[in-house]
Structure 1
Amino acid sequence: MRISYNKLWKMLIDKNMNKRDLAERSGVSSASIAKLSKGANITTDVLLKICESLDCTLEDIMETVKD
């Protein structure tokens, strides 16, 4: 099982935002955004910052998927 952030990328499209906008708005580094893009492990602190900046919950930006 792995974590997918496809929900986050879809949300950014719906909000007419790109990854740079997300980094600036949330205060998350571009390196962390790159990790998200690759599906790499990321801290919950980063995820919570993103959720706060987008006014959403963790379930809105990520999901578990079977390999």
Structure 2
Amino acid sequence: MTYNYNKLWKMLIDRKITKTELRKQTGITINILAKMGKHEPVSMETLAKICVAPDCGFDDILKIQKEVYSK
């Protein structure tokens, strides 16, 4: 599975919220933002904290893509 947080980055730009402001509002660490920047998975608790700050849902910030393997 791949995790894509591009929806979150776009929403932050649209709402003029910096990553620093998001960190302060949610209490998440810079390391978590770095993981998200590399499209790595983060905990549901982290995603919930992020959704509360700008009042959004998981679908607004995250896209999960199933990897297709060929034989």
The unaligned stretches of length 5 or more in structure 2 are none
State the TM-score, normalizing by the size of structure 2. Answer: 0.85
1:15-57 Cα deviation digits (max 9, x unpaired)? 1111111111111111111111111121110000000111000
Task: Give the C-alpha shift of residue 64 in structure 1.
Answer: 2.2
- Computing the radius of gyration from Cα coordinates, the structure with the larger value is 2
CA distance in 1, matches of 2:32, 2:14: 21
Q: How does 1:32-43 map to 2 (within 5 A)?
A: 32-43=32-43
Q: Does 1:3 align with 2:3?
A: yes
TM-score, length-normalised on structure 1? 0.90
3-state DSSP of counterpart to 2:64: strand
Q: Give the CA RMSD over aligned residues.
A: 1.2
Match of residue 49 from structure 1? 49
Partner of 1:58: 58
Structure having the higher helix fraction is: 1
What is the aligned residue count? 67
Residue in 2 aligned with 1:24? Answer: 24
Equivalent position SS for 2:41: coil
Structure 1, unaligned stretches of length 5 or more? none
Aligned structure 1 segments of 4 or more residues deviating by more than 2 angstroms: 64-67
